[in-house]
Homo-oligomer: A and B are copies of this chain.
Amino acid sequence: MLKEAIDHRPKNNYAYPYDDETLHIKLRTKKNDLERVTLIYGDPFDWTNERPNFYESSMEVAYQDDLYDYWFAAIKTVRRRTHYVFKLEDSSEDSPVIFSERGYFDSVPEDCPPCFFKVPFLNPIDVFNAPNWVKDTTWYQIFPERFANGDTSNDPEGALDWNSSPPSPTNFFGGDFQGVIDHLEYLQDLGINGIYFTPIFKAKSNHKYDTIDYFEIDPQFGDKEKFRELVTKCHERGIRVMLDAVFNHSGYYFEPFQDVLEHGENSKYKDWFHIHEFPIAYEPKPNYDTFAYEPKMPKLNTENSEVKQYLLDVATYWIEEFDIDGWRLDVANEIDHQFWREFRQAVKAVKPDVYILGEIWHDSMPWLQGDQFDAVMNYPFTEATLNFFARRTINAEQFKNQINQVLAAYPENVNEVAFNLLGSHDTARVLTQAGDDKRLVKLMYLFELTFIGTPCIYYGDEIGLTGDDDPGCRKCMPWDADEQDHELISFFQNLIRLRQEEPLLRGEGSFKFVKTEGNIVMYERLDQNQKIIVVINNQDEQVDFKLADAYQNAEYMLFEKP
């Protein structure tokens, strides 16, 4: 038994309340090292005849990655108080041993209550609690400047004809809200039921991540009435709307920053930013904090109470006035945790089931403990999926390991609402990454839409749009029928419909890899009563793949030949 590999620490991905009465407990051990793990638990105060009462629950390996097994058990608490140890068994002589917070014992350390691991009390308010509708949502990400131009009268100066040239960091094509409204039927036919819009507030650039006014719609997209119409029409079609909150930094032309530029140390806004010294300088690097080293994006001082109040007002304004359903938080990891805690309180107070999605590319447990975000953009999922299907740099077993590592890193209720994406305005198009092989795009989206979490389709992926890294991935959506791959669209429609029709594929079913073989993966979505099996052959050759006897009564559904 390799003790050095064994890991457990309560109140994160290893031990957490799943709901108001259920605890999930996980234990990490070396891969294939242990034969059996049993959770021994009880209420620390529950005694009979001067002996503590214990319950046992056998654990099972829920996930396995390249180094570790992750054992899992779900238990009901006793009076909501739980302390516990693990009984570890292998074939060696010293087996079984008891693993506790204070190390290893030969038997349950009944005389030492503080030796036990503890989830001291299950307080409902601390339970991670994302909106339920998210599990049933298939998102569609729209970069508004490039989705559709429905009203040429609001085109920005110098706007080019739609799709008349490749996207550049600075060119405009006039995409707007009317364009989205005009194509809501297309989106509904596709089957999506949530739109994530990159920023729509008044800004200078085509991407609008350099906000000038957080309380105004960018005029190239329309006005507030047009936006209200857009949200209303989305809601009428059962489509939820998520906006992009760029709170880490403002744009250069944001009035308070302009005031600082003009009045320097005398500006009443000087503490709204992080100015290292006056006068402000841009070379060799800006002498104020920015996004990256971009002088046009001065970092906001979210610890300043005026700034905080301003941004919280922004956050609640668009919910209260326009009934939006979610906020995606740009560069969320560089803003202080305290701000996000107050943000959550503020937006959930005005709309309890609003979805809070942070842009974080790396391990995000500190933001997903119930007090800050509901989800993050699951780029580790993206990387693993692209590596396996598009780039084919890893085999099925490695893919399984990488995906399992992501799943094991979070609580299950976090995984159920993770925002899974294959690409965005920040990455090369998935079709381009797949060497223009649409079959691979299909496999990737098949995986994404049958995986646990809430999937997102980047606008245009469904019609076969290509494009390199930004700005290449921000092409105009072509609306001429002969520029769209209708067979691909129909694939997406079927796939989304499948997800919508099968509760197991949405939030209800847990996820488990069953088998990998070369470049073939087989996995299940399951609950206690039934399961859906998916087998994906990610190689060019057709193969025979035998299901185990246990599956002989399964109903088959051949989704598509690769």
Could you tell me which A residues sit within 8 Å of B by CB distance?
Answer: 2-5, 7, 9-12, 30, 45-46, 66-68, 79-81, 101-103, 113-114, 116-118, 120-121, 123-126, 289, 292-293, 302-303, 333-339, 341, 360-363, 365-366, 371, 379-380, 383
Q: Are the C-beta atoms of B292 and A45 separated by less than 8 Å?
A: yes
Q: Are the C-beta atoms of A9 and B365 separated by less than 8 Å?
A: yes
A379 to chain B minimum Cβ distance, whole angstroms, is 6
Cα A118 to Cα B359 in complex, Å, equals: 14
State which of B10, B45, B113 has its C-beta within 8 Å of the C-beta of A363.
B10
A476 to chain B minimum Cβ distance, whole angstroms, is 28
Copy number in the complex reads: 2
- Residue among A5, A293, A335, A383 with max Cβ neighbours from chain B (10 Å): A5
| Interface CB pairs A-B, < 8 A, 29 | A4-B4, A4-B30, A4-B67, A7-B7, A10-B366, A11-B366, A12-B366, A45-B292, A46-B293, A66-B103, A79-B289, A113-B361, A114-B362, A114-B379, A117-B362, A118-B362, A120-B333, A120-B334, A120-B360, A121-B336, A123-B302, A123-B335, A123-B336, A123-B337, A125-B338, A125-B339, A126-B338, A338-B371, A341-B371
Q: Are the C-beta atoms of B289 and A334 separated by less than 8 Å?
A: no
Contacts of A371 in B (CB 8 A): 337-338, 341
State which of B5, B117, B341 has its C-beta within 8 Å of the C-beta of A5.
B5
Known: A126-B337, A126-B338. 6 other contacts (CB 8 A): A45-B292, A45-B293, A113-B361, A118-B333, A124-B303, A337-B371
Cα A30 to Cα B2 in complex, Å, equals: 11
Contacts of A118 in B (CB 8 A): 333, 362-363
Contacts of A102 in B (CB 8 A): 380, 383
Cα A333 to Cα B10 in complex, Å, equals: 12
CB-nearest residue of chain B to A334:
B121
CB-nearest residue of chain B to A367:
B11
- The 10 A-B pairs with the shortest beta carbon distances in the complex, nearest first, are A123-B336, A4-B5, A120-B333, A121-B334, A45-B292, A11-B366, A114-B361, A125-B303, A125-B338, A125-B336
Contacts of A121 in B (CB 8 A): 333-336
A335 to chain B minimum Cβ distance, whole angstroms, is 7
Cα A361 to Cα B303 in complex, Å, equals: 33
Q: Are the C-beta atoms of B67 and A114 separated by less than 8 Å?
A: no
Cα A335 to Cα B81 in complex, Å, equals: 11
A308 to chain B minimum Cβ distance, whole angstroms, is 10
Contacts of A341 in B (CB 8 A): 341, 371
A175 to chain B minimum Cβ distance, whole angstroms, is 29
A61 to chain B minimum Cβ distance, whole angstroms, is 15
Q: Are the C-beta atoms of B303 and A123 separated by less than 8 Å?
A: yes
CB-nearest residue of chain B to A365:
B9
A283 to chain B minimum Cβ distance, whole angstroms, is 15
- Residue among A116, A334, A335 with max Cβ neighbours from chain B (10 Å): A334
CB-nearest residue of chain B to A302:
B123
Cα A363 to Cα B12 in complex, Å, equals: 13
A120 to chain B minimum Cβ distance, whole angstroms, is 4
CB-nearest residue of chain B to A401:
B103
Q: Are the C-beta atoms of B81 and A334 separated by less than 8 Å?
A: yes
Cα A365 to Cα B3 in complex, Å, equals: 22
A305 to chain B minimum Cβ distance, whole angstroms, is 11
Contacts of A380 in B (CB 8 A): 102, 114
Contacts of A339 in B (CB 8 A): 125
A289 and B80 in contact, given A3-B67, A333-B121 (Cβ under 8 angstroms): yes
Contacts of A362 in B (CB 8 A): 101, 114, 116-118
CB-nearest residue of chain B to A123:
B336
Contacts of A45 in B (CB 8 A): 292-293
A192 to chain B minimum Cβ distance, whole angstroms, is 26
- Residue among A4, A113, A363, A371 with max Cβ neighbours from chain B (10 Å): A4
Cα A383 to Cα B114 in complex, Å, equals: 9
Contacts of A293 in B (CB 8 A): 45-46
Contacts of A124 in B (CB 8 A): 303
Contacts of A361 in B (CB 8 A): 113-114
A450 to chain B minimum Cβ distance, whole angstroms, is 24
A23 to chain B minimum Cβ distance, whole angstroms, is 15
Contacts of A120 in B (CB 8 A): 333-334, 360
A4 to chain B minimum Cβ distance, whole angstroms, is 4
Cα A360 to Cα B120 in complex, Å, equals: 10
Cα A7 to Cα B337 in complex, Å, equals: 24
Cα A79 to Cα B103 in complex, Å, equals: 40
Contacts of A114 in B (CB 8 A): 361-362, 379-380, 383
Q: Are the C-beta atoms of B5 and A101 separated by less than 8 Å?
A: no
Q: Are the C-beta atoms of B9 and A363 separated by less than 8 Å?
A: yes
A12 to chain B minimum Cβ distance, whole angstroms, is 8
Contacts of A336 in B (CB 8 A): 121, 123, 125-126
Cα A322 to Cα B415 in complex, Å, equals: 48
A301 to chain B minimum Cβ distance, whole angstroms, is 10
Contacts of A4 in B (CB 8 A): 2, 4-5, 30, 67-68
Cα A3 to Cα B333 in complex, Å, equals: 28
